[in-house]
Amino acid sequence: MSDGRFGARLRAAMDARGPLCVGIDPHPALLSAWGLPDTAAGLERFTRTVVEAVGDRAAVVKPQSAFFERFGSQGIAVLESAIRQLREAGSLILLDVKRGDIGSTAAAYADAYLDPASSLRVDAITASPYLGFGSLTPMIEKAVATGAGVFVLALTSNPEGSSVQHARTADGRTVAQLVIDEISQLNKGVSPLGDIGVVVGATVGQTGHDMSELGGPVLVPGLGAQGGRPEDLRTVFGDDLSAVLPAYSREILSRGPSVVALRDSLEQLMDACRRVVQPIG
């Protein structure tokens, strides 16, 4: 992890490499499609190939921790190796762990993923606020202190999410709007981009939520295989897409195991995202 605040480093990476996050989701079906065994050795081969293909091209690479954890210590070793390789390739690493807990446990998660002394240290993590936004304080404080970031779930694409995220708080705001507003306060005055972001699914449509004061990045999964298209970003976010980071995984990964095909897919999707997120003129 280089010096400087995460938001500034993310802004620079998106400007230099383009607005795209590539997920590494080595689930069993993909391993099989690549002709690899559903073993730690298959996981290692898959991950090494993806890192080779995208590590020096994508602004952000997002390993999904669960697919590594399911192989126990061998899987974690593969994840640690991938983190080292991605750092050497110059991409920012966003570990998709969706952690959420309270007190000392939340602090321990922060130490695991954001402390410079940890072998799992990354540039940013995903987190769940549904034990109360204040429960994330140890992770957020650790992130700010170490130049890292946190992406907090706000409006997700899964149908089960709306029953919680659209529920109304005592002051009439939705839970999702409360999360957005809390993050807006944390990012206030931080330039060029805040260190704390939100996760908003590409397929949520017109949300009716106000993100105009967010001040931080917006990670947008749900594109490609999950049904979202780059054009949908304007439906969700309007005209200001400067802080939007589209995320693809299966749409790119399904092109493997050819490194050339993986890179071609990344470039095609990058161009599509640039046309929407960074329009010319």
Q: In this structure, what CATH number is given to the domain that contains residue 14? A: 3.20.20.70
175 occurs within a structural domain: yes
Residue 121 lies in a domain: yes
Residue 255 identity (one-letter amino acid)? R
Structure tokens at 92: 């920012």
Cβ(91)–Cβ(122) below 8 Å: no
In a domain, 135, yes or no: yes
Rounded CA-CA distance 102/134 in Å is: 9
Active site residue 98: yes
Domain extent at residue 92: 6-275
φ and ψ at 247, to 5 degrees?
A: -125, 130
For residue 244, the surrounding DSSP H or E stretch is strand 244-248
Percentage of residues in the chain with pLDDT exceeding 90? Answer: 87
Cross-strand partners of 93: 61
Question: Tell me, what's the pLDDT at 279?
Answer: 64
Give domain status of residue 150, yes or no: yes
- 281 in a structural domain: no
Q: Is the confidence at residue 280, as pLDDT, over 60?
A: no
Q: pLDDT value at position 281?
A: 43
Residues 6+ apart with CB under 8 A from 128: 98, 99, 100, 152, 153
What's the domain count of the chain? 1
Residue 60, classed as helix, strand or coil, is strand
> How far apart, in Å, are the Cα atoms of 83 and each of 160, 168, 243?
32, 39, 24
Point out the catalytic residue in the list 62, 98, 142, 188. Answer: 98
Q: Is 198 left (phi over 0), alpha (psi -120 to 50) or beta?
A: beta
DSSP 228: B
Please report the pLDDT score of residue 9 as a whole number.
Answer: 98
Residue 248 in this model has a pLDDT that exceeds 90 = yes
For residue 144, which phi and psi values (nearest 5 degrees)? -65, -40
257 inside domain: yes
Say how many C-beta atoms besides its own lie within 10 A of residue 1's C-beta: 17
Whether 1 is covered by a domain: the verdict is no
* pLDDT over 90 at 278, yes or no: no
Q: What is the pLDDT of residue 239?
A: 86
